[in-house]
Structure 1
Amino acid sequence: MITELLCTAAAVCLYVNTLDADFCYDDSRAIKTNQDLLPETPWTNILYDDFWGTLLSHSGSHKSFRPLCTLSFRLNYTLHGLRPWGYHLLNVALHALVTGLFTAVSRPLLGGGGPWCLLAGLLFASHPIHTEAVAGVVGRADVGAALFFLLSLLCYAQHCQARRWRWLLASLWCAAASMLWKEQGVTVLAVSAAYDLLVFQRLRLRQAVLLLLGKKKNVYVLLSVGSLASWGAALLSARLYWMGNKPPHFSNSDNPAADSPHLLTRTLTFLHLPAANAWLLLCPDRLSFDWSMDTVPLVQSWADWRNLHTVAFYLGFSLLALFGIRSGSGSAASKSKETNGKLHVSNGKLMTNGNGYHGPDSNHNTEPGPVKVSLNGSPSLNHGAAKASLPTTENLVLFSLAAMTLPFIPATNLFFYVGFVIAERVLYIPSMGFCLLVAAGARTLSVRLRTRGRRAILLALCVALVLLNGAKTIQRNRDWSNEENLYKSGIAANPAKAWGNLGNVLKNQGKMAEAERAYRKALHHRGNMADMLYNLGLLLQENERFSEALRYYKMAIGSRPTLASAYLNTGIILMNQGSLDEAKRTFLTCADIPDENLKDPHAHKSSVTSCLYNLGKLLHEQGRHEEALSVYKEAMQKMPRQFAPHSLFNMMGEAHMRLNRPEQAAHWYRESLRSKPDHIPAHLTYGKLLSILGQKTEAEKYYLRAIQLDPTKGNCYMHYGQFLLEQSRLAEAAEMAERAAELESTEFDVVFNAAHMLRQASLNEAAERQYERAAGLRPDYPAALMNLGAILHLNGRLAEAEANYLRALRLKPDDVITQSNLRKLWNIMQRQGLRVQSELGVQRGDL
């Protein structure tokens, strides 16, 4: 127990600094934008959605059905919302529990709670490869699966000793729970079978094969292993059925080898990837948050030098397996030895301690203990009799290899393609077998070293290994403390993805120039990344570099024709530039994109809905209100759960208002306010409708409520001022107009409308100031110049009025109102004997 506590404490100490970490990388999609975590979402949704909140039956789903993990996220959200510390606290607690359980599993395999069991536990607690699973919140799926993986294995070990079927039933249910944390957990059933045959029964590989083929008889073992196999088949069948009997779809950047048309490339690359993963376990010197795209270049020919790594890996693995198979045959047939080389005999019978295991062997003997011998001289299979204290070293090696290999098989692309090249968190469970193998090797080496000095050196090396791992883990925790550090740490391994993600972080920090440089560096390494092209376009658009932004959006669409967000922003820019027909075509193209085989169907649907919303606004501004309503209704049909519909509902109210349908308009205004009670535009539009319907007092309440919601928003004062003007409350209206213009002195529409209101209130001098400000904001807008000329005309500043009329006519020569006002002005000027620029200029068209 002390050993387990020490290892658990080490695990907590190594990761305690992650409690202050922020959400990183995939945490945003799995937690921040996952609707399944929200209290208002029925909790049963987690039974039908994948880990990311996408419906499992959807073609774009990753098919990662992990309801127990999602349920734990929902619990975190219920307790403390989106504060990261609680999520990290639970991750660290789970890792500590897993470390303690792994140490407990190692105890009977490595000779009790001695130094080798401690070594295995500390190696697992400190291995840097675990940082992604523990420090990254989404890694909880792997840690939670490991917890029930070990519980299932411990229950099965109890079943082997006591032959109590309730322990087997508990093991099976824990295996199901492990799979519901993450798919990889189902492999504990195969590991449990390996434990029964290699550790408890201590069979040679040939004997195990003969037993499973039915050529050896052992009812208990066959029933137990058969139960494991049947339960595994049932779980996998249910899992396949629940995900719609279809495999997930991944982009070629997620797993480039799977997308290669060449069999040789796929074969050599897939053979190399396990070697690359094994190297991360052996020497975790270079770790990365993302190993996708070209981080591991494809192995395309036999001449690639990395094939030597592949051969060395499989050769080493085969030698270890052969050691277990070959050496086991001699030891199992040899005489049984106690630690002093003799059997304990009492009344002519072999003696054990009466349970499944002897006490720890202080001499670390790895020879088998008492074995019953059948009449033909071969070892008989155990039917629940007491076993020796330790499995043979050979069988322990085989079991360690099985514990390392079997949980990794789902990630090998052997049975189906996976959506990653290398994923460090996938190694969390296989690393148990690795740590056990290292500890077993150190124990065996210690037995063979005959002097205390050499054993001391070995012990010092083991301590150094743990300390080095711990130091690397602490350093790696700092990388995972926030997204900026994480992405900077990944530049060496995956520069394209790291620079791109770093650009997003810098942009959110307001460092636009640095963000642009980061995006361009990402595109320098990989120029066809649609997301990066889109993000760069978005940054340029925010900096009002619209032409450049439009070019990058179109490049993003060319790289990924299904990127709906790029269509959305392209359409918005085109609409603002006056290219209305092209904007309309862009929005319609986006709306017609099928939402199949998409990485994030929720985000796609949101962009499609926004495209339809903007298309409806375009039609609405063109006076085509029935068409706008039809588009709005289509947007409502395609609207995802997480889409905020208040603006859409408000625009539907506006369309009905223009069609003189006040009752329908009122309904949609109320729906908008129900969806978002602090939505200011809905307060203003609903107030206007109530005013038209004669409900003046109620209307005024909505205007005042809008101002209360945001006292700094000039538009609210402008609308309220217009309402006051209609009520002939001129002084109050003028006050509102002045306040609106001062608050939003750079917004042309607000200033221009404020000038109109002041003019209607007969405050001509104040109106003149605002018209001058409006003309300064839009000097190329004819209406601004014409109205400035008109107010100057009224205020008696005739020469200045004439100049502004003429400027307006140069921009719009056929404007009848301006021409009429100019003639009236000239008549006055002539009567006063003032010189005009050209009396016949308008008719001659030379203005």
Structure 2
Amino acid sequence: MFKKYHTIFSLIIIWAIGFIIYSNSFRGDFQFDDYTTIVSNPYIKNIYRSHELFTYSPLRFISNFTFTINYYLGKNNVFGYHLVNFSIHAVNAALIFILIRLLIQTPFIVRENKLFLLVVALICSLLFISHPIQTQAVNYISQRSILLAAMFYLLVLILLTKAHLDQIYTRKRSIFYLLAILAFPIALLTKEIIFTLPVAILMINIFFFTKKVRISYNNIAIFLPFALISGLIVFLLHQSLFDTPIPRLHYFLTQIGVLKTYIRLLVLPFNLHLDYNYPITTSFFNLHTIFSLLFLLLIISGGFFMFNKNRFISFGIFLFFLTLTIESSFIPLNDVIFEHRLYLPSVSFFMVIAGILQIITNKIHRNSTISVKLLWSIIVIILVIYTRITYQRNNIWNSDYTLWLDSALKSPYKARPHDGLGVAYLKQNKLKEAADQFQIAVFLDNDYFRAYNNLGVLYEYDGKLEVAEAFYRKSIEKAIHNSASTRNLENLQDRLKILQ
């Protein structure tokens, strides 16, 4: 009876626990980039002109279209947006369960206790849905793009794994393969991380269906259509993935340390916050970078070493680095670190956990002196800890005040958290507290034009129009293409003319 219904039973457990953990997140405010992506974004306001989303952001079309549907159904009611984000997160947890179950059935996985190995998939899914690192991707509505990208990423891998496992049934195999090809171009319109999927497809074939590492005609035949579609999408949409807000070398050197931080956050998810004050590394010759690189090389070496011993662990290690290549390599982004960038790579972490649990379950099968109860106790304790931290993080994400206060306390020497906290105070009509935070922001970063603009807004609201004008001009001086300050200054000047 359990064998027949264990999938449904497992999914109910995953979704029920996930819903309980995120039950306090559905009324959270719009945060940070949500205002430009959703609240004040004219492109999502008319569902009948959704084709214009291609003009706005072609490689995020699917993600933005879901915002269009949300807006059509509930305008700016945050509940609907949060409900969709959580639902996608729950689907992803289910897809991880299915993918691990399928990979357990592949030829080169040692499985002495088949029933308990099925439980491994459930454990990994529960760890995924409850892990505190996911709170940013789930609560930060604008990051629905990474949730959708992960969903399509996992779906394509599942379809191709099914195609491999059904080699005897040629027609069935062709259907799974065709569905994967059809899903892929849709996936490419969610987030740029999908461009790593063709390599992940090749890795699935090599790690789970090939005895030795080799590139065969079969591997190339599977890989090539996805690679060609990727190139075609980039060509047709004229998108560049190579803007350089930070020098490439400096960004790459910084990411060596960031990758180590990401691994630490997966293993020990403590001290989480929105806006990390991570220093830019400009030279390889510093101890932090050298030790971080040695640490990463040790892990990569472990991936090679484990290939013939445990394919789950080996695959998870290499998939982790693969899924971070877009955002943590030579392609500079404005911010060097964000927790939501770990959402899809965290799947790799749980693949490694699956491999470790596979080893443990095989030992339990051979040696009854190893306590199953002890293993379950450890897992339950970890889940309880994860649940507690995740629930607390959801509370912090519920308002811009608590979010930016948390970040300002954890990144006290970075301007943006203080500016964000100042805006939160301004919304509460606490002008003195807001002014103090804006002043701290410009003290920490004299070129932070947003804080000057916000000081202008504050003093204009307080009736000190000449002071406000000076701050607007200062903001424009720091960033000449700053449209918000330019617009605010023009409106203020019109107001001054009327008063004269």
TM-score range, shorter chain: 0.7 to 0.9
- SS of equivalent residue, structure 1 residue 195: helix
Residues 423, 434 of structure 2: 8 Å contact kept = yes
Q: Which residue of 2 aligns with 1:39?
A: 46
* Equivalent residue in structure 2 for 1:18, among 4, 20, 25: 25
C-alpha separation in 2, matches of 1:546 and 1:570: 10
Counting only pairs closer than 5 Å after superposition, residues 101-116 of structure 1 correspond to structure 2 as 101-110=95-104, 111=114, 114-116=118-120
C-alpha separation in 1, matches of 2:473 and 2:296: 47
Deviation at 1:553, TM superposition (A): 2.5
* Equivalent residue in structure 1 for 2:287, among 287, 291, 305: 305
Deviation at 1:283, TM superposition (A): 1.8
Counting only pairs closer than 5 Å after superposition, residues 763-778 of structure 1 correspond to structure 2 as none
Deviation at 1:88, TM superposition (A): 0.8
Cα–Cα, structure 1 residues 523 and 100, in superposed 2: closer, same or farther, change >3 Å? Answer: same
Q: Which residue of 2 aligns with 1:277?
A: 262
> Is 1:92 aligned with 2:86?
yes
> Is 1:8 aligned with 2:15?
yes
C-alpha separation in 2, matches of 1:137 and 1:569: 27
Deviation at 1:302, TM superposition (A): 4.9
Q: Which residue of 2 aligns with 1:378?
A: none
Kindly provide the amino acid, as one letter, of the partner of residue 558 in structure 1.
Answer: E
Residues 62, 190 of structure 2: 8 Å contact kept = yes
C-alpha separation in 2, matches of 1:459 and 1:575: 69
Q: Which residue of 2 aligns with 1:424?
A: 339
C-alpha separation in 1, matches of 2:222 and 2:358: 31
Cα–Cα, structure 1 residues 40 and 114, in superposed 2: closer, same or farther, change >3 Å? Answer: closer
Residues 300, 317 of structure 2: 8 Å contact kept = no
Counting only pairs closer than 5 Å after superposition, residues 325-404 of structure 1 correspond to structure 2 as 325=307, 328=308, 393-404=309-320
Residues 311, 355 of structure 2: 8 Å contact kept = no
* Equivalent residue in structure 1 for 2:385, among 468, 476, 479: 468
Deviation at 1:159, TM superposition (A): 0.9
Kindly provide the amino acid, as one letter, of the partner of residue 421 in structure 1.
Answer: V
* Equivalent residue in structure 2 for 1:478, among 395, 402, 409: 395
Q: Which residue of 2 aligns with 1:539?
A: 458
Deviation at 1:83, TM superposition (A): 0.6
Residues 556, 563 of structure 1: 8 Å contact kept = yes
Residues 4, 121 of structure 1: 8 Å contact kept = no
* Deviation readout 1:649-698 (Å, 9 max, x if unpaired): xxxxxxxxxxxxxxxxxxxxxxxxxxxxxxxxxxxxxxxxxxxxxxxxxx
Residues 137, 147 of structure 2: 8 Å contact kept = yes
Higher relative contact order (CA 8 A, sep 6+): 2
Deviation at 1:573, TM superposition (A): 5.3
Deviation at 1:533, TM superposition (A): 1.0
Cα–Cα, structure 1 residues 49 and 551, in superposed 2: closer, same or farther, change >3 Å? Answer: closer
Deviation at 1:306, TM superposition (A): 1.8
Deviation at 1:157, TM superposition (A): 1.2
Root-mean-square deviation (CA, aligned residues, Å) is 2.6
**Could you tell me the percent identity over the aligned residues?**
21
Counting only pairs closer than 5 Å after superposition, residues 673-692 of structure 1 correspond to structure 2 as none
C-alpha separation in 2, matches of 1:3 and 1:455: 19
Which contiguous aligned blocks of 4+ residues in structure 1 show a shift greater than 6 angstroms?
A: 575-578
* Equivalent residue in structure 1 for 2:355, among 440, 454, 469: 440
Counting only pairs closer than 5 Å after superposition, residues 132-171 of structure 1 correspond to structure 2 as 132-163=136-167, 164-171=173-180
Larger Rg: 1
* Equivalent residue in structure 2 for 1:180, among 181, 189, 206: 189
> Is 1:503 aligned with 2:422?
yes
Residues 300, 318 of structure 2: 8 Å contact kept = no
Residues 456, 472 of structure 2: 8 Å contact kept = yes
- SS of equivalent residue, structure 2 residue 24: helix
Q: Which residue of 2 aligns with 1:66?
A: 60
Q: Which residue of 2 aligns with 1:487?
A: 404
* Deviation readout 1:607-642 (Å, 9 max, x if unpaired): xxxxxxxxxxxxxx9xxxxxxxxxxxxxxxxxxxxx
Deviation at 1:32, TM superposition (A): 0.9
Kindly provide the amino acid, as one letter, of the partner of residue 485 in structure 2.
Answer: A
- SS of equivalent residue, structure 1 residue 17: coil
* Deviation readout 1:41-89 (Å, 9 max, x if unpaired): 6121123321xxxxx6xxxxxxxx2111111111111111111101111
| Residue segments in structure 1 that go unaligned for 5+ positions in a row | 51-55, 57-64, 213-221, 253-257, 329-392, 579-620, 622-748, 750-780, 782-847
* Deviation readout 1:234-256 (Å, 9 max, x if unpaired): 23223322442544646x4xxxx
Residues 149, 174 of structure 1: 8 Å contact kept = no
C-alpha separation in 1, matches of 2:185 and 2:259: 26
Kindly provide the amino acid, as one letter, of the partner of residue 378 in structure 2.
Answer: L
C-alpha separation in 2, matches of 1:516 and 1:86: 34
Q: Which residue of 2 aligns with 1:353?
A: none
Residues 313, 355 of structure 2: 8 Å contact kept = yes
* Deviation readout 1:436-487 (Å, 9 max, x if unpaired): 2023213324544746455543432222222211211111111111211111
C-alpha separation in 1, matches of 2:375 and 2:19: 26
Please report the TM-score for the alignment, with normalisation by the length of structure 2.
Answer: 0.87
| Residue segments in structure 2 that go unaligned for 5+ positions in a row | 1-6, 105-113, 168-172
Q: Which residue of 2 aligns with 1:204?
A: 212
* Equivalent residue in structure 2 for 1:521, among 405, 430, 440: 440
C-alpha separation in 2, matches of 1:245 and 1:21: 33
Q: Which residue of 2 aligns with 1:694?
A: none
Deviation at 1:116, TM superposition (A): 2.1
Cα–Cα, structure 1 residues 245 and 186, in superposed 2: closer, same or farther, change >3 Å? Answer: closer
Give the number of the structure whose residues are more often helix, by fraction.
2
Cα–Cα, structure 1 residues 530 and 259, in superposed 2: closer, same or farther, change >3 Å? Answer: farther
Cα–Cα, structure 1 residues 435 and 247, in superposed 2: closer, same or farther, change >3 Å? Answer: closer
Deviation at 1:130, TM superposition (A): 0.8
Kindly provide the amino acid, as one letter, of the partner of residue 184 in structure 1.
Answer: I
Deviation at 1:312, TM superposition (A): 4.4
Q: Which residue of 1 aligns with 2:202?
A: 193
C-alpha separation in 1, matches of 2:131 and 2:454: 36
Please report the TM-score for the alignment, with normalisation by the length of structure 1.
Answer: 0.53
* Deviation readout 1:705-735 (Å, 9 max, x if unpaired): xxxxxxxxxxxxxxxxxxxxxxxxxxxxxxx
Question: How many matched pairs?
Answer: 474
C-alpha separation in 2, matches of 1:31 and 1:575: 29
